[in-house]
Amino acid sequence: MTTQTNPQVWDPDNTYSINELIQNRIKINQQVNLANFDAKQFPKNTETNNFKIEPKDFDKVKIDGIYNRAVEDFNYNKLYKNIDRRGGFIYSSASGIKIFQRPDKNYYIVDGVHRSSFCAVKGIPIFANLHIHDGKLSPNECRKVEAQVYTDMGYHIYSQSADQNFKAAYVAGETWAIDFAKTLNQIGMHIKNIGQKNGPKLTGHKTFQDTISQYDPSYGIEAASLMSDKMKGRISINALFLSGLTILLAQQEDLPLLNDELLKGAIAQAIGSKNFLKGTIHGKPTEGVALRFAHLYNNQGNGMKGFLSIDLSILCNNFSMPKAIIDSDIYIATV
């Protein structure tokens, strides 16, 4: 069992040893709970083809937070429940820990951080499926190979959040993630330090990602540009907010020539409203937000000479929604 230390500022994008992870992510009483379980079916060297890493070498066993979610999202409860379910740590069930050795001679866990953590707490060896990188690869090249394996396993084995999936896919060099990162730069936002780090975080980004895959990304960039004044100083922007404005702009062929200043006025009113994103239409939240933006735009221009309002019924038709939605939307009805 490791000794608890006072955790320093934990950087989810940093690299930590398995011992450091335990010291900063598993409480002393939790370590005791884990250590009380037996390790069953402990293999002999003749009974396994896996590479054996002894506890004395655990400082060389690393977790790279650039792509591995375990650094930021270590799940003690999941580990405990899995061990408790079998009444102990069973090596035959825990086989398949996947580790890469980089040219720096350290071992980087790609899959099996939780299982390796138990081994470290218990003080027993880690038996791993070891892959050795080409000695000529740089750290970033090694990281990319590992991230590709990590994303492949993550798609099938366990649930990752959309943000974690994007982070790993970006490191792995997947085309969709690289393209989305470029869009983040263009709209002045970031996700997990990818994109414009000095801009607000785009929360729930999968909504916006789906939106720009359906509509031309230029509408999303235009929407972010209109929002830019209101994004300054903000910690985060809800992707639903950005997506609703994006699909409204994408209807330009069926809309009057929109006035940017009135749109900015609508944005300012929406972003300052606690209820703007609440109670959106079930199944079509983005379309519902677009309707609300159009309604606020009409309010902004109401009474202005020569103003042409947006016909909400046309939007409903374009979004394949019944026109009755206009009257039943509480936000539209009260603002």
Q: Are residues 125 and 266 in the same domain?
A: no
Same-domain status, 321 and 216: yes
Q: Is residue 248 part of a domain?
A: yes
- Residue-wise over 101-120: b if at least 16 C-beta within 10 A, else e? bbeeebbbbbbbbbbbbbbb
The answer as to whether 1 is a domain residue is no
Q: For residues 133 and 258, state if they share a domain.
A: no
- Whether 218 shows a pLDDT value over 80: the answer reads yes
User: pLDDT tens digit string along 294-325?
Assistant: 999 999 999 999 999 999 999 999 999 999 99
22 closest CA partner among 168, 144, 129, 126:
126
Across the range 237-253, mean pLDDT stands at 95
- Residues 178, 221, single domain; the answer is yes
pLDDT of residue 106: 98
Q: Residues 209, 308: one domain?
A: yes
pTM above 0.85, yes or no: no
| Domain boundary residue, one of 125, 145, 167 | 167
Residues across the chain? 335
The total number of structural domains that make up the chain: 2
Q: Which two tokens stand for residue 205?
A: 């980004």
211 and 229 inside one domain: yes
Residue 2 lies in a domain: no
Structure tokens at 327: 């009257």
Domain end call among 129, 151, 167:
167
Residue where one domain finishes, among candidates 117, 151, 167: 167
Same domain, 209 and 161: no
Asked whether residue 228 is assigned to any structural domain, the reply reads yes
Residue 10 domain-assigned (yes or no): no
Residue-wise pLDDT for 152-207, tens only, equals 876 544 566 888 888 889 999 989 899 999 999 999 999 988 999 899 999 999 99
Do residues 145 and 90 share a domain? yes
Amino acid in position 33: N
CA atoms of 18 and 23, how far apart (whole Å): 9
Residue 24 maps to a domain? yes
In this predicted structure, what is the pLDDT of residue 138?
A: 97
pLDDT value of position 156: 47
Interacting residues of 176 by C-beta distance below 8 A, sequence separation 6+ = 169
Q: Which of 267, 211, 203, 208 has its CA nearest to residue 238?
A: 203
Clarify whether residues 30 and 128 are in a common domain.
yes
Both 199 and 278 in one domain: the answer is: yes
pLDDT of 6 > 80? The answer is no
Q: What domain range includes position 253?
A: 174-334
Instruction: State pLDDT tens for residues 55-100.
Output: 999 999 999 999 998 998 899 998 999 899 888 998 877 778 999 9
- For the segment 243-270, the average pLDDT, to the nearest whole number, is 94
Residues 128-153: what's their mean pLDDT?
94
